[in-house]
């Protein structure tokens, strides 16, 4: 597509300029001597109104084929619109029909479909208002994320997708293999990975952090932005098996610097979104959740709460709420707890720190109390955790001890440990789940609706 696009056409002067526009018909109304078309080209939410006079060449042949979903090119004159809702409209002089869409069969007619149904037609759902808006917001947010880090001099590092190390140490990884599944080579009952493609057990990455740290410890500040994979059996509205993560890593930076960075970062991308994607955000605010714009505005202007895990547990114990998962020091917080803190107690984002070491990954820096680690999770209303991060353990001996305590093998992490042996520095970083972010800003309830082709437990339709 060459343009001009409808997004720009709607702002043009209606001065009889000759233009051509391509797109898909959303609706058509016929009157006696002309037809009105609402055309959408995906460049924005709004449609361009087009008037086709019955005197246009070929009118009688094409007019009945211009149905919802069909694709056309219209050449015509841009004139002032008498209607209040729009400034301009296009008077067609020539109509080219590219592809018809049989109204008996094409499912995206005027009728509204449920999000569940639209998930089964993931190839067509981007043609709806909601999903085209999500696609534009995803794209814009990616850009603001890159711009934030690039403006601050962070280096974008492409960490591997196939890996032989388990970053989170949780074991929820998808294996990558070319071994014949029907006849796996074994020695003494154990799988012989030497015969596998890489000669070693390999998996899809759960996080680019460990590799990211190697570059941070050379370049200062880096970030990654790529797909990550988790074979968790969580069938929830917040979990995907394939999702995108943004992971900055900063050297000479402790947990306080990490919290400052996460807060500044979120505020920056929210502000850019509200300033630049207003039409789509207004749509989400009217059609999906009428609190999102006000919430984002207050988040931009207020300081996040910073609270230690131990304090949060006290706060939860004080509450009268009957939680499904009982609260006591040492538990991993569930989303009901995270939501209670952000929605009921503080009514804004909360950065929770200093979690018990048992419930966090091996690489987090141990506090002097020997019980808690310098973890920091950013929790937001409605969703709970959207960012997980920490200051990293930079002492080799302490790190080896933690690796062993978590029943992992230090030999598997030999290169990660060497970062602590040669020129070790305090460093910190975090991971933002991109889909949770998009859920948060659009108000969409289900994470499967904010990624084009969702992959989740027992669910891969496309």
CB nearer to ligand 4AD: give 56 or 246.
246
Out of Mg ion, ligand 4AD, none, what residue 169 binds, judged by CB under 5 to 8 A for its kind, is none
Binding residue for ligand 4AD, selected from 436, 439, 443, 448, defined by CB under 6 A: 436
- In the complex, the smallest distance separating the C-beta of residue 388 from ligand 4AD, rounded to whole angstroms, is 2
Q: Which of 204, 245, 380, 403 binds ligand 4AD (CB under 6 A)?
A: 245
- Residue 251 within binding range of ligand 4AD, rule CB under 6 A: no
| Contact window for ligand 4AD (CB under 6 A) among 132-140, 264-272, 285-293, 383-391 | 383-391
Cα separation, 422 vs 33, in Å, equals 81
Burial of 39 (0-12, 13-18, 19+ CB in 10 A): buried
Q: Is 255 in the site for ligand 4AD (CB under 6 A)?
A: no
Query: Contact region for Mg ion (CB under 5 A) — 49-57, 62-70, 380-388, 442-450?
Result: 380-388
Sign, CA torsion 305/342/272/208: positive
Least separation in angstroms between CB 217 and Mg ion: 23
The answer to whether 125 and 115 are in contact (CB under 8 A) is: no
Q: How far is CA 222 from the centre of its chain?
A: 20
C-alpha 334/C-alpha 314 separation (Å) is: 15
Nearer to ligand 4AD, 40 or 439 (CB): 439
Q: Decide: is 384 part of the binding site for Mg ion (CB under 5 A).
A: no
- Choice from 69, 389, 443, 454 touching ligand 4AD (CB under 6 A): 389
- One symbol per residue from 61 to 90: x for binding ligand 4AD (CB under 6 A), - otherwise; what is it? ------------------------------
What is the C-alpha to C-alpha distance for residues 14 and 226, in angstroms, rounded to an integer? 43
Using the rule CB under 6 A, which residue among 69, 381, 433, 443 binds ligand 4AD? 433
Q: What would the 3-class secondary structure string for 93-144 be?
A: EEEEEEECCCCCCCCCCCCCCCHHHHHCCCCCHHHCHHHHHHHHHHHHHHHH
d(CA 124, CA 134): 14
Considering CB distances under 5 to 8 angstroms, the limit depending on partner class, which of Mg ion, ligand 4AD, none binds residue 240? ligand 4AD
Give the one entry of ligand 4AD, Mg ion, none that residue 168 binds, where binding means its C-beta sits below a cut-off of 5 to 8 angstroms depending on kind.
ligand 4AD
Only segment of 41-49, 204-212, 386-394, 406-414 that touches Mg ion (CB under 5 A): 386-394
Report the C-alpha gap between 420 and 398 in whole angstroms. Answer: 10
- List 47, 207, 439, 442, residue binding ligand 4AD (CB under 6 A): 207
Q: Taking CB under 6 A as the rule, does residue 429 contact ligand 4AD? A: yes
Task: Supply 204's token pair.
Answer: 């899809």
138 binds ligand 4AD (CB under 6 A): no
Is residue 431 a contact point for Mg ion (CB under 5 A)? no
Out of 41, 89, 166, 168, the only residue in the binding site for ligand 4AD (CB under 6 A) is 168
Compose the 333-372 pattern: x for residues touching Mg ion by CB under 5 A, - for all others: ----------------------------------------
Q: Which is nearer to ligand 4AD, 243 or 416 (CB)?
A: 243
Which residue, 248 or 388, is less far from Mg ion as judged by CB? 388
- Candidates 212, 384, 388, 443; binder of Mg ion (CB under 5 A) is 388
Q: Is 454 a binder of Mg ion (CB under 5 A)?
A: no
Please identify, among the stretches 126-134, 272-280, 351-359, 381-389, the one whose residues bind ligand 4AD according to the rule CB under 6 A.
381-389
Query: Is 374 a binder of ligand 4AD (CB under 6 A)?
Result: no
Residue 454 binding: pick among Mg ion, ligand 4AD, none (C-beta 5-8 Å cut-off by kind): none
Q: Is position 443 an interface residue for ligand 4AD (rule: CB under 6 A)?
A: no
Please report, as ranges, the residues that interact with ligand 4AD according to CB under 6 A. 167-168, 207, 209, 230, 232, 239-240, 243, 245, 247, 385-390, 429-431, 433, 435-436
Please report, as ranges, the residues that interact with Mg ion according to CB under 5 A. 388
């Amino acid at each position: 597509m060459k343009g001009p696009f409808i997004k720009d056409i709607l702002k043009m002067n209606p001065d009889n300029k000759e233009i051509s526009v391509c797109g898909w018909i959303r609706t058509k109304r016929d009157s006696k001597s002309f037809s009105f078309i609402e055309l959408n080209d995906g460049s924005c939410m709004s449609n361009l109104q087009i008037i086709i006079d019955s005197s246009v060449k070929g009118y009688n042949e094409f007019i009945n084929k211009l149905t919802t979903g069909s694709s056309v090119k219209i050449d015509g004159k841009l004139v002032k619109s008498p209607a209040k809702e729009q400034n301009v409209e296009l008077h067609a002089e020539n109509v080219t029909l590219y592809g018809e869409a049989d109204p008996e069969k094409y499912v995206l007619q005027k009728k509204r479909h449920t999000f569940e149904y639209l998930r089964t037609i993931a190839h067509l759902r981007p043609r709806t208002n909601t999903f085209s808006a999500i696609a534009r917001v995803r794209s814009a947010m990616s850009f603001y994320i890159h711009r934030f880090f690039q403006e601050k001099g962070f280096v974008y590092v492409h960490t591997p997708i196939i890996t032989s190390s388990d970053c989170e140490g949780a074991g929820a990884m998808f294996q990558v293999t070319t071994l014949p599944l029907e006849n796996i080579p074994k020695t003494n009952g154990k799988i012989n990975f030497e015969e596998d493609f890489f000669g070693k057990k390999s998996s899809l990455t759960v996080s680019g952090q460990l590799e990211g740290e190697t570059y941070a410890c050379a370049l200062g500040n880096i970030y990654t932005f790529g797909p990550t994979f988790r074979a968790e059996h969580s069938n929830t509205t917040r979990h995907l098996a394939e999702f995108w993560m943004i992971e900055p890593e900063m050297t000479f930076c402790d947990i306080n610097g990490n919290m400052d960075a996460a807060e500044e970062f979120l505020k920056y991308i929210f502000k850019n979104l509200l300033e630049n994607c207003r039409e789509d955000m207004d749509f989400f605010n009217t059609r999906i959740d009428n609190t999102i714009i006000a919430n984002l505005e207050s988040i931009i202007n207020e300081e996040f709460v910073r609270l230690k895990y131990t304090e949060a547990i006290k706060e939860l114990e004080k509450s009268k709420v009957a939680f499904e998962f009982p609260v006591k020091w040492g538990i991993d917080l569930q989303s009901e707890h995270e939501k209670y803190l952000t929605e009921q107690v503080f009514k804004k984002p909360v950065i929770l720190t200093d979690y018990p070491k048992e419930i966090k990954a091996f690489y987090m820096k141990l506090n002097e109390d020997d019980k808690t680690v310098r973890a920091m999770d950013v929790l937001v209303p409605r969703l709970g955790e959207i960012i997980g991060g920490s200051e990293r353990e930079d002492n080799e001996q302490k790190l080896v001890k933690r690796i062993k305590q978590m029943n992992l093998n230090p030999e598997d992490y030999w290169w990660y440990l060497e970062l602590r042996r040669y020129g070790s520095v305090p460093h910190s970083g975090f991971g933002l789940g991109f889909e949770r972010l998009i859920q948060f800003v659009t108000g969409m309830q289900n994470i499967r609706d904010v990624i084009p082709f969702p992959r989740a437990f027992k669910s891969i339709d496309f």
